[in-house]
Structure 1
Amino acid sequence: MLTPMIHDFATAPRTPREPARAVASTLSDHKSNRRLPVVVMLGVITAIGVWLIRSPGAAGTLEETQYPIAAAKTEYLQAASTEQNLLAGPEPVSSVTTEPVALDQSVSERESLGAQGVDQHLEESYEFYDSLQASSWSVPVQRGIYLTEEDRKRAEYRYILQAASLRDRSEAAALAAKLRKMGLEASYSVSNGDPNNSAWYRVNVGPFSNVSVMNKAEDMLVSMQMMPLKRRVR
């Protein structure tokens, strides 16, 4: 009689399967090899994106820096031109005189009328126009822009803009020359407020007798990364 062999799976140790581990490691290496090109591609795309952002950024920043200065300069020059017309006032009155103009009546027209009565009627009709053409009068002609009383009171005060305050005299002179090239009336002066310290050199723009023109000049200085200070002088 044969006795059946019963294997106790609960107590007997299982034999490890080495081939399964080898397959798992092979799959892991295969996945790593597939991820490597993706990571490299993402790195290349990121580098290209950073380069594109930085390259046009410098040119764009330069254009954005230069454009406000040019726009502010144009507005200031327009306001300054208007201010000159205001201060100039109206031009002297000129007279426009009309000279008598004789009526040009051809002989053929007179002959075509044929009758003296018609001639007399026409002469009476044109008598009023003849008197206008024979007379002379003067018409006042005035040009320019006029200041109101309030504007004239404001013009009594003058303003200056302090563009910068520097320790070095050569830097102050160079900045004043740069502002003059841009159309501003710039100069620099020495300030000895504290005798214990060295002198300061103030770069001033102006003076201005019109607030609107001063505001345009202030916008121009702000566009150049400056912080001007307003001062009122008599």
Structure 2
Amino acid sequence: MTLPKAVAFAHWMIAQNIRPGDTVIDATCGNGGDTVFLAEAVSPAGHVHAFDIQSEAIQATYARLKKESLEPHVTLHHCSHDYAVSVLTEAERTSVRAAVFNLGYLPGSDKQIVTSASSTTAAVLSYLHTFPPGVPVIVVIYHGHPGGNAERTAVENLAAELSEQEVRVLRYSLEFQEKAPPYVLTFEKTGEESPHLSNLVQAYSHISTKG
């Protein structure tokens, strides 16, 4: 047995939950690796909504999708992932079966442009609040870059604030490594939410960088 690295583990978790015909969210499309993986998994009848704040990422992802003839199965959104719920139709919101984040910077690009703690936590909460119970919200956390530790702390603090009766959180990490490898936090709403989750959505929306 070989223990998978963080991204491979995230892909394994996604594969357990999605089927052709599903709607899925790529919250940080980057260079398109996750987007292609998701599009292959849900095609021919499913759809991927992929988000990124950088035009370079949108262009790189589109080129990769076109190379694989997968672009008809993906809508690319040049905006922050905390806008995802607002751009989906009501039918799409109820049909989402997974969401994945790869935090940090765009590989091969400006390392100063990174995902932010405020938009990430607001997005995770809005997904948990809106999407059906049982939908995994998978966050691959990179913390070996400037700003990474602050975002990691924010996501972990959010996880600690959630009620275990309504949201379960799984952590997968390779420990005792020389460097700071990424790790995975997966959030799953277990059933009907209580006012606690709704209140957290309202609280975190006030600190989001969204509009």
Q: Normalising to structure 2: TM-score of the pair?
A: 0.20
The structure with higher relative contact order (CA 8 Å, sep 6+) is 1
Which of the two has higher C-alpha Rg? 1
Which structure features the higher share of helix residues?
Answer: 1
Higher strand share: 2
